[in-house]
Every structure is written in structure tokens, then in C-alpha cells.
A and B are shown apart, each in its own frame.
Chain A
């Protein structure tokens, strides 16, 4: 069995080309018992037992978690829905503070954030757990498991910030699984990053309560929200969650002034009704504004939705057309490398201001945040 210590984990990982730091999971592999003979992976490190930030104590050692809209009531020795918070003797703990199960250096375009420091690297971390259970999850091997079921590495906030700096990353991204469930770790890391001049970006489904959300918004620099659908039914049946709290979280974002972008994964037959997409775009233009970038991305059969085909590119294109018709200024087609819908076009003169193929920037026609051709300001964080 190959034993890797923390230093070699980081070292091998950073040395890897393409920025990949030891892919965490071969499907199922890290779900073996911690010392499984069959697994070439090292034993997972321990759990963190750091007291959680948002919860209230109830009678008889029960607690109610106040971090996300589920408001799990958790008895002594039990865990909440996300599987990475545990009640012990009436005190609620996060089990994943400083224990990352994934760490990679990614292009920021991969998040995707298209209007935030394009062409830069983001030091990206995740822990196990998620407060939803989307049937199409691409990362279910880490998001739908408990921390002890994956290989973890002790990576405290200051070290994340230091590694981000060493790797030349301009930002730290909290991503892959659902960072809301490693809230305390994310917050402390964002603060540590800021001290070193490293920004923080959050890649989330936005399923969070108002108070922790507002605190997070203050400490980070950009947020990408996966907006799953514009129907309660989809949120309930496919994601085991609710739509309304996510809409509320988006309204909070809109008022806060932080930079944010939206992704809508188009899942054939389930959320690809174009009338509904039009309704959603009307709501976005009216309540969030026409300058929020919206990415329509392609679904690939995964996890519990292997029975559906990949999204036809024509559906993504139609959705994009609708959003543009409704007045949105920056609408993208995602997961289709080389598609013309990957570029950022100036809404004024229609020239390409940022050209992309996949995660690569091919043209940069912005100067001081303005279109080089017509001087129209393009919203975003460009430097």
C-alpha cells in the first residue's frame, strides 16, 4: 500500500501537469473502508471536530442547524443531511474543517467564471458532503459521501492560502462538492487568503440561509450559483431541495454588489422546457438585472440519471437565444468546447471582447474593463 503524507500529497499534486492534484476518487475506490487492502489510497486523516457556527441548542441535547434551509434537527450522536456535521452531547461540530478531499489548480474558466480575472488560476479545494442530492451530480463520489468514506488531507486555511500563492493562483475556489457544508473552513480560508492578497470564489448551489450567506458574501470576492431549474418540482424531485430559498439567495447577491454568475445545466426532458426557461430569464432580467452572466451548460449522463442522453447542442443554443431575446447581455453555452457561445460579446458593438475555446483565452479585447472597439464598459472583475 502506498502511504502518502501531507507534504507528498501536495508536492505530487502540484507537480502534476494540468494543475491536477491527485484526483481524489476513482469511482467507488475511496469508498472502501479506510484501510482497505484493495485500495491503493492512504488512510483518511481524522475528522476535525470544530464547533459549527450556525446552530441553536434545543432541549435534551438536540440541536437545530441554521446554516441551510433544511434546518436539520439533529439528536445526540447523529448527523445532519449533509453527513459532515455531527452532534455530540448537544454541541454541533463540522467534521471537515481543514480536511480537504480534493485540491487542484484549475483555470478560473472551469468554474465557470467568465467575468472574473479571466485566464488566471484558482487553487480549488473541496471536502466531502453536500446539502442536496442532485440526481445528475458529476462529483457524487465526494459530494454524496461522509468524510470518513474518502481520503482526506489536513490542509488548514493558512496552508491553502500559501499553496495558492506558490501555485501562482489569483484565487482560492471552494468547489466540486458543496462549499456551504464546509462553511467554517471556507470562511477561515477566505480570511487567510485575503491577508495574502488572494481572492476567494465560491461555486455553490446557493442553498443557504440569509445570515450565513451575508457573512460569506462579505468575506469572498465572487460567487457562481448553479441554478438548477425554475420549478419547485425539479428542485424537489431531482435535487431533494426547494427553489424558493435559492431565489432568495440570488436576490441577496443582487443587492450585495458582489460579482456573481449563474449556471443552468440543461437536463433533457427535465428542465429543458423553453417556455419555462423564458419565464426564468424574464425573472432574472427583472429581479437580478440583465448584466448577470448566464451559462447554459451541457448535461452528460451521470450518477442516478444515466438513462438520459447528453443535452443536444440545439437545446443550449435555443435557451441562449431566448435569454438574449429577453434582454440578458451575457449568455454562454457551456461544456461544448469551440462553440461560438463561449465568447463574451460586447452588448453594444457585438464584437468579441473575450474569446475562449474551452478553458483557454484566445482573445482579450478589453481595456480597463471596456470594450476595445467601442469603449462600452463590460461588467466584471477584470484585474
Chain B
């Protein structure tokens, strides 16, 4: 993410796909997924080694928060393998395991999706904002349209974020992906569901703790819920077999939006705009006031790799 006030000219987004990375039963091919993450990062940074690529975003002294989205259960959440592969890579790049925190709102939801809870370190730590000793910061944020308490994972336990969202249709905001994932960092996300969550999602992402901390997005698009989201409906879950990587969360969400609309068209569903839920927050995030990234195809270098 460019620091506040700095305007980026273009953004780069890499989609890596492999038809075999996830089976119809939901089994993830871990080696293949790891290759996808590594080659996508190399392409994004023009490095030949993934360990060097990830150093563009994180340095060995960083305390890295890895924000997953596991609210919708096992079948419509960030796959644990995505986070575990990223943790391996970050460790290989020189970051200590105890400084890697895989996190979301609650222990219950993390556990349900299969994340191994671990507060004490080792290869990584993994806990919820509701875990013992964590909770929300006592300082009430009063920022643009947001009045919330921020998870202490963001405020105190980590200093940079690797955003690991899952790409899905959303009944209110149209799309849930990188930007909306940080609704999981505040205590009262349900208060920001009006008007398609707009401008609330964009406003939240301009909060310095989020805007300045978020360094990279690796979006899980292995199985895309293209209708009926954010909950899981097998009849509308596409085995897309992809990951989307960028340091621009708006561009990731914009590309994700195009992917969802394309899948919807293939299944004879109206596009999200016609369905009455155009993801306005993506465009608000790109406007001059928010300046969080790019939401126009002509401003995005989109690279697709198939493994």
C-alpha cells in the first residue's frame, strides 16, 4: 500500500490458476498451491525466488498479522493451507514463527474452518480477537463514518498485515474480498451494512492502522461463491482454482469483481449490478478522497499464469 497521500500510477495484479489445485470434494493440493503462491509472488515482484519476492513487503523484524476470513464455515472461508504456505514462506524469508499471527474474529470460527489454534509460537501463532488476553483496544475510533473499537491484534500484537481474504459474492456489498475482510478487525461490523456497506468499507480501510499496515494481499479464489454469498451454497460455488496477488487491495477486489461477474454470466445469472448489488465500495475506495488503489482495468497490469 502506498502511504497516505502518495498516489500510485498503476497497479499490478497476478492471477495464478491451476485446475488441479482443488478437487470437487474440496481437497487442496498443497504442493501445487505452494507453487502457485511462489510463482505469483515472483511474477508480481520480478524476482526469481519467492523468499526474495516476499521481502519486498515484509522484513525480518516485522510482526506479521495474517488476516483470514473464516466466518462462513469450512466451505466458504480462506483455506488454512493458503495461510500455512504463506507462514512457511515468511519464515523462510527470515521472520520468526512467534512473529507470525494468523487471526480472525473468533476462536470458534477459526477452529471450525480447521485453523490450528496456537497462542504460544513455534511455526506461527493463530488466535482470534476473542482469545484470552486479546480483545479490542480501549480507544474508540471516531474516523470518517466509523465509530469502532479495533482488534488488539492490529493495534498491539502485529505491525504489518498480510491480507488473506476469500473471494465471494456478498448479499449486501456485492463482493467480499480484501477490503471487506477488515470488517473482521472491528467490534461492530453489523453497524456498517447499510447502503451496501458503502462508504463504510472504504472509510475503514483508510484508517492509518489498516492503510499503513497492509502490505500485501493473497486472495483465496480456489472455490468462488459467485451467488448467495457470503454463506456457502454448493449450487453456486465454482471451483475456480485461483489465487490473486497484489499489493493493491482495491485492484484485487476489482479483478475479483470481474471474475465473479464472468462466472455469473457463464451460469446465466445477471451481473452484480443488474442483481442490485454492484460493489460500490470498490469504486469508493479508489476515489480521490480514499485513494486506496485502482479500480479501472486500464490502470491495472493484469497478469495471468496457469500452472
Q: A37-B132, A146-B187 are in contact. List 12 more A-B contacts (CB 8 A).
A: A28-B139, A33-B129, A33-B132, A33-B134, A37-B133, A75-B231, A77-B71, A77-B73, A78-B71, A81-B194, A146-B190, A303-B140
Is A82's CB under 8 angstroms from B149's CB? Answer: no
Cβ–Cβ < 8 Å partners of B191 in chain A = 81, 83, 133, 144, 240
Contact A135/B231 with A79-B190, A145-B187 known, Cβ cut-off 8 Å = no
| Residues of B in contact, count (CB < 8 Å) | 33
Chain A, residue nearest B71 (CB): A77
Q: Once the chains bind, are B231 and A78 in contact (CB under 8 Å)? A: yes
Is the CB of A308 closer than 8 A to any CB of chain B?
no
Contact A240/B194 with A38-B133, A303-B140 known, Cβ cut-off 8 Å: yes
| A29→B149 CA distance, assembly (Å) | 12
Query: Would you call A135 and B147 a contact (CB within 8 A)?
Result: yes
> In the complex, what distance in Å separates the CA atom of A60 from the CA atom of B71?
18
Question: By the criterion CB–CB under 8 Å, are B171 and A31 in contact?
Answer: no
Digit string of B193-219 for contact with A (CB within 8 Å is 1, else 0)?
Answer: 110000000000000000000000000
Could you tell me the distance between the alpha carbons of A27 and B138 in the complex, rounded to whole angstroms?
Answer: 7
Which residues of chain B come closer than 8 Å to A29, judged between CB atoms? Answer: 138
A36 on the B face (CB < 8 A): yes
Count chain A CB atoms within 10 A of each CB in B71, B133, B230, B231 and give the residue with the most: B231
Could you mark each residue 31-46 of chain A with 1 if its beta carbon is under 8 Å from any beta carbon of chain B, else 0?
1111111110000000
A121-156 interface mask toward B, CB cutoff 8 Å, 1 = contact, 0 = none? 000000000000101000000001110110000000
Residues of B within 8 A of A148 (CB): 106, 130
A153 shortest CB reach to chain B, Å: 19
Judge whether B142 is part of the interface by a CB distance below 8 angstroms. Answer: yes
The contact sample of 13 A-B pairs, CB cut-off 8 A, is A31-B149, A31-B187, A33-B130, A33-B134, A73-B171, A81-B191, A81-B193, A83-B190, A133-B191, A146-B188, A148-B106, A304-B142, A306-B142
CB–CB B171/A303 < 8 A: no
Closest residue of chain B to A133 (Cβ to Cβ) is B191
Inter-chain CA distance A168–B132, complex, in Å, is 39
Asked whether B228 is an interface residue with its Cβ less than 8 Å from the other chain, the reply is yes
Given the complex, which residues of A lie within 8 Å of B73, measured CB to CB?
Answer: 77
- B20 on the interface (CB 8 Å rule)? no
Docked-complex contact B147 and A32, CB < 8 angstroms: no
By the criterion CB–CB under 8 Å, are B190 and A80 in contact?
yes
A2 nearest CB across to chain B (Å):
16
Closest 6 CB pairs between A and B? A28-B138, A32-B135, A76-B231, A35-B132, A33-B135, A304-B147
**Residues in B101-147 with C-beta less than 8 Å from chain A:** 106, 128-140, 142, 147
Q: Residue B72 at the A interface, CB < 8 A?
A: yes
B188-A83 in contact (CB<8A):
yes
B136 touches A32 (CB 8 A): yes
Nearest chain B residue, comparing its CB with the CB of A34:
B130
Residue of B at shortest CB range from A60? B228
A82 CA to B128 CA, complexed, in Å: 22
> Which of chain B's residues has its CB closest to A236's CB?
B194
